[in-house]
Chains A and B, each alone.
Chain A
């Protein structure tokens, strides 16, 4: 007969404790949700920029191959045109491979391109720098997101669990390096 009495006496405290925990959990989940939403915007923005820079690079490469085949040499021009075309049409899955191909084709070009307008060369060099920056910032945003999404409490509370996990975009974008013969396909996935 003592048990129900004790149970009854404890209940308010247990409820109190439970409510307190729930409030803490809610506050934490709300804060995490805010962070994840912010990160989602950051990832989206970074991807838009990266995508734009890659497309710009492909367009410039195409222009270079089309308008100045003599300066590049027929073989280089053909390869560059093919790589640029592939980069522009590749689906999401093959994008990294195609961009790697284009990057390699660009690096393999002869150092001095006689007859190619300086403006085009400067712009190409500029996009190369921008691709490096944009990719770094995109992967940075992805890393921050994945780190937070991978936390045990985030997984347990299923905050943002329905959203797709952003993927790293990994291409070989070494600057200024003229490709050597050992320059393989590069890593495509992290």
Chain B
């Protein structure tokens, strides 16, 4: 793009709570700013003080609503609407980019109020199909205003096509490849120096992450490689975790707790094999791209998203999901084959390069460029959240006459 673009990005989730969409918005905004564009972000937060950067605008707090076992955040109402309107009016944006516009949040409010080019990214991180099926038709009139839709994965695209209408171009999540490919190793676990290690990142309590399958496979792995260690990075209770691991495996499994971004990169640079035994879900495997960038050989279950990141199994080893024996075989074989590991480790960064933020941001910029009107013009905010429904004045004349008038008006 030749001239700098003024971009307004909307993040519907609380900025000071860790989450994939928040990181995505943060990294996208930083990359675009680095390319010389003007970027502002509107986002809710738990505490207004945590929005320290001047380009962040506080959109209020979200109301947690228990839904389907987890918490969905909802934000709707006149105060939020006023904040959104002011942000739209003061921003003078060429394009507004809304993330996850489906939930009742600032993202949807922006879709209701903004007049002008709107781009939306569908992450489908937390949406349930059932919820979308009922809610989709309700919000459709406002989602119709979106000129360009992006989905981060084929899974997210299918969800969106099925329930929200329209199609989307697939632009994957980005990763700062450099931050993972170069740097110090994790203390005490240098790759190839200390004993063989298998890494796992994720909350062990979530069954869909598949840790129980990996633990079962570990029992077979340690028979072949008695020194093998499984390192689990993720939040959780140590006592409960010990229970889950069981007596026999305890010497071979270590819970590291939640790691900072820098520690996670070091961790991925240090493990001999990274394992993603996920059973389902996972709209997009960011962690796999991070592991690829860090040069960690990967064994992952054959979910569509994983298979596509691992290029059909050439950039990593794919095993049938939920099959502990197949997983054990793959892990044992890979730990015993340094040549194959070296080959995968060398290939990883090249595969990850396609997901580097510099590349991904340029693709998103091409979307902005495609929706910008040729003559220019900026996004404005309509007075009515409904987008001009007040145009119609209801007239108490009999239905027939009114219908005639309406037909004439409609043909106008």
Measured between beta carbons, the chain B residues less than 8 angstroms from A133 are 148, 169, 366-367, 370
Q: Known contacts A133-B148, A133-B370: does B388 contact A157 (CB below 8 Å)?
A: no
- Which residues does chain A contribute within 8 Å of B386, judged by CB atoms? 31
Return chain A residues, CB-CB under 8 Å to B144: 35, 38-39, 42, 144, 148
Q: Is there contact, CB below 8 Å, between A137 and B370?
A: yes
Residue pair B149, A140 in contact (C-beta under 8 Å): yes
In contact, A136 and B167 (Cβ under 8 angstroms):
yes
A136 to B169, CA, bound (A): 8
Q: How far is the CA of A160 from the CA of B359 in the complex (A)?
A: 43
Q: Which of A10-61 contact B (CB under 8 A)?
A: 18-19, 21-23, 25-27, 29-31, 33-35, 38-39, 42, 45-46, 48-49, 52-53
Chain B 372-412 near chain A by CB (<8 Å), digits 1 or 0: 01100000000000111101101110110011001101110
Given A130-B366, A139-B167, A141-B147, decide whether A162 and B399 contact each other with a Cβ distance below 8 A: no
Q: Which residues from chain B contact A121 at a C-beta distance below 8 Å?
A: none
Query: For chain A residues 134-171, which have a beta carbon within 8 Å of chain B?
Result: 134, 136-137, 139-141, 143-144, 147-148, 157-162
Q: Is A129 interfacial (CB-CB < 8 Å)?
A: yes
Cβ–Cβ < 8 Å partners of A132 in chain B: 169
Contacts of A134 in B (CB 8 A): 370
Q: Report the tally of A-B residue pairs with Cβ distances under 8 A.
A: 105
B311 within 8 A of A: no
| A: number of interface residues (CB 8 Å) | 44
Residues of A within 8 A of B141 (CB): 31, 35
Cβ contact within 8 Å between A147 and B165: yes
Are A18 and B374 in contact (CB-based, < 8 A)?
A: no
Chain B stretch 140-160: residues in CB contact (< 8 A) with chain A:
141, 144-145, 147-149
B246 on the A face (CB < 8 A): no
Chain B residues touching A, majority SS? mixed
Q: Check A129 against B366 for contact (C-beta < 8 Å).
A: yes
A141 to B371, CA, bound (A): 12
Are A42 and B388 within 8 A (Cβ)?
no
Residues of A within 8 A of B402 (CB): 22, 26
B369 within 8 A of A: yes
Nearest-Cβ distance from residue B110 to partner chain A, whole angstroms? 15
**Cβ-defined partner of A30 (8 Å) among B147, B166, B392:** B392
In the complex, per-residue mask of B351-371: 1 if CB is within 8 Å of any chain A CB, else 0 = 000000000000000110111
**Distance in angstroms between the alpha carbons of A21 and B319 in the assembled complex:** 60
Contacts of B148 in A (CB 8 A): 133, 137
Residue of B with least CB distance to A134? B370
A137 touches B403 (CB 8 A): no
- Smallest CB–CB gap between A135 and chain B, Å? 10
Would you give the shortest CB distance from A46 to chain B, in whole angstroms? 7
B392 and A49 within 8 A (CB): no
Nearest A residue to B392 by beta-carbon distance? A30
Chain B: minimal CB distance from A45 (Å)? 6
- A53 to chain B: which residues have CB within 8 Å? 370
Contact: A18 with B145, CB < 8 Å?
no
* Complex-state Cα separation, A101 to B166, whole angstroms: 27
Further 5 A-B residue pairs, CB within 8 A, beyond A22-B398, A137-B148:
A19-B398, A21-B399, A25-B403, A48-B374, A144-B144
